[in-house]
Homo-oligomer: A and B are copies of this chain.
Amino acid sequence: MQVTSEQLLDDGVVERHFTLGEIPGILWTPASASAPVPPILLSPPPIGLSRAYPRLVGRARSAVAQGFAAATIELPGYGDRPRLPGAEQAGADLRRAMAAGEPVTDEIIDALVLPLVDRAVPEWQAVLDALLDLPGIGGPVGYSGGVISIGTRLAAVEPRLSAAVLFAGSFVPRVTFEEARRVTIPLHVLLQWDDAGNDRQASLDLFDAFGSEEKTLSANLGGHTGVPQFAGEEAERFFARHLS
């Protein structure tokens, strides 16, 4: 993990931009802490890190205020990273189906989401390796983020993850339902009830599929980006319960 810049934000939060191999990312930590702080992996929405930065830094500041560190990375295929093979075709197929009022087939969803999941999950594991090597970071690990299939697979395969906040707002490939059954860590799932681009029934089915003994679905009125502040605070309390 190569730190490329470092600044102290006004509320005692240190923001470090880094690269891990080809992957750019950002790490937020408390300016001072008496003991190692548990990390939260802040997986961004699939819109590129620079566009997602304002909401990510808000969540990171809250995480640090609660006694955690937070880290995010540019997802494969976004920002300045090379586009994923097939992504352009899959995106075109999706737009064509939606414009024609046709159902979005499983084949389109698989082509759109799975190449991203296949690459992002091992990248998050590499980031986690690097984070846990840092002297000020340690303890149980949280995951919070968009693209629910990434979080689902990471929770299924990565034993160091202790708790996850998932955002049900993207297409769900069939394999994600199978992977969900293997997830056993506590989950807090956010669903925006009026998210026009989201398949609400698929989100409810996925919530049902998770194998976790503690899982909460917090569904709120509003569109994709309209998660109410109180619902964000609930998600923070979920981490406080499970990572502190």
Contact = CB atoms under 8 A, between A and B. Distances in A.
Contact of A234 (B204, B213, B215, B234): B234
Q: Quickly give the copy total for this chain.
A: 2
Interface residues of A, number: 21
A89 B216 CA distance: 38
7 contacts: A204-B204, A216-B218, A216-B219, A217-B217, A217-B219, A217-B220, A219-B219
Contact of A241 (B215, B221, B230, B237): B230
Contact of A220 (B193, B208, B216, B221): B216
Given A204-B204, A208-B193, A230 B237 contact: yes
A142 to B, nearest CB: 16
B221 A213 contact: yes
Interface string A54-88: 00000000000000000000000000000000000
Interface string A19-58: 0000000000000000000000000000000000000000
Nearest to A216: B220
A125 interface: no
A168 to B, nearest CB: 12
B234 A214 contact: no
Contacts of A208: 193
A231 interface: yes
A215 B204 contact: no
